[in-house]
Amino acid sequence: MASTPPVILILGSGPNIGQHVARAFAAKGYKVALASRSLKEEDSNADQVHISADLSDPHSVKGIFSKVKASLGLPSVVVYNGEHVPHGSLLSKSTDTLEASAGAPNNPADPLSIPLADFSRDLHVNTTSAFVAAQQAALSFDRLPDHRSKTFIYTGNILNETTIASLLDGGVGKSATAHIMRSAAAAYSDKGFKYAFPSLPLAVLKLTKRRFYYADERKADGTPAYSKISGEAHGKFYVELAEHKSQGPWQQTFVKDVGYRHFPAA
């Protein structure tokens, strides 16, 4: 009996990173589920499912996973690539920076002037929905056979290490989610996560491994990629992460055509 193909779910499937990641995994035999506000579900086909989703609503994330399970099966790789970019902003005018941007730019001389509604919305997209996605991914991974990848990748940037005056709320979100990825990577690494099934004796434990990463593309000198963000490089690198047999460093700084490279904290 032929095994079923693996499934990747990409939350936030813009034209650069999201689409290149989708193509890279499809080339490896994955069925692909894409979720974003701009997608039309009627454009789905047997190998690629489109889900209309607003990641500013964390309560919607569980439903996304339910749709993926019903249409393709449980995802063994989940990529969180969600960002809020306000229409008309400098960030929204570049498809290269769209997915790796950091939310609504604020007045750099007055960062505390951000309206609460904007701050809350961007935090939901950058962190709260990512947290729910990581929760749901972990639940999916527990139900998959051992040979599946069980990898969660969050598309980050340098804002968890440094400040950019006009990107306060983005920095808050990236920093918070970097902490989530670091904690999850430590807890669910190759030592596994032991738990008892409620219906079985407490002595019956399952050992499962899950991998969590915060990915951040840099230039060769360690500075942010900014407008040089490469969707193709993300696709290639994310496939490599998913094929790792063990948890690597939780913070995956990488350079196009080079791969992982450790940089001192900014």
Q: What is the pLDDT of residues 153-168, one digit of tens each?
A: 999 999 999 999 999 9
Would you state the structure tokens that stand for residue 232, as one six-digit string?
């193709």
Would you state the structure tokens that stand for residue 127, as one six-digit string?
């962190």
The predicted pLDDT at position 2 comes to 57
Cα end-to-end distance, the chain, whole Å: 51
Cβ within 8 Å of residue 221, ≥6 positions away: none
The rounded mean pLDDT for the chain is 87
Provide the 8-state DSSP code for 6: P
Looking at the domain assignment, is residue 108 inside a domain?
Answer: yes
Concatenating the DSSP letter of every residue in 192-222 gives -EEEE-TTS-TT-EEEE--EEEEEEEE-TTS
Looking at the domain assignment, is residue 2 inside a domain?
Answer: no
Q: How far apart are CA 172 and CA 122, in angstroms?
A: 9
Among 31, 67, 150, 174, the active-site one is: 174
Looking at the domain assignment, is residue 265 inside a domain?
Answer: no
In this predicted structure, the answer to whether residue 1 has a pLDDT above a threshold of 90 is no
pLDDT single digits (tens) 181-195:
999 999 998 644 444
Looking at the domain assignment, is residue 99 inside a domain?
Answer: yes
Looking at the domain assignment, is residue 28 inside a domain?
Answer: yes
Whether residue 256 lies in the annotated active site: no
Tally of domains within the chain: 1
The helix or strand, by DSSP H or E, that contains position 61, with its residue range, turns out to be helix 61-71
- pTM (predicted TM-score): 0.89
pLDDT single digits (tens) 61-105:
999 999 999 999 999 999 999 865 543 343 333 333 334 444 678
Looking at the domain assignment, is residue 195 inside a domain?
Answer: yes
Domain that holds residue 48: 7-260
Looking at the domain assignment, is residue 93 inside a domain?
Answer: yes
CATH number at residue 187: 3.40.50.720
Looking at the domain assignment, is residue 149 inside a domain?
Answer: yes
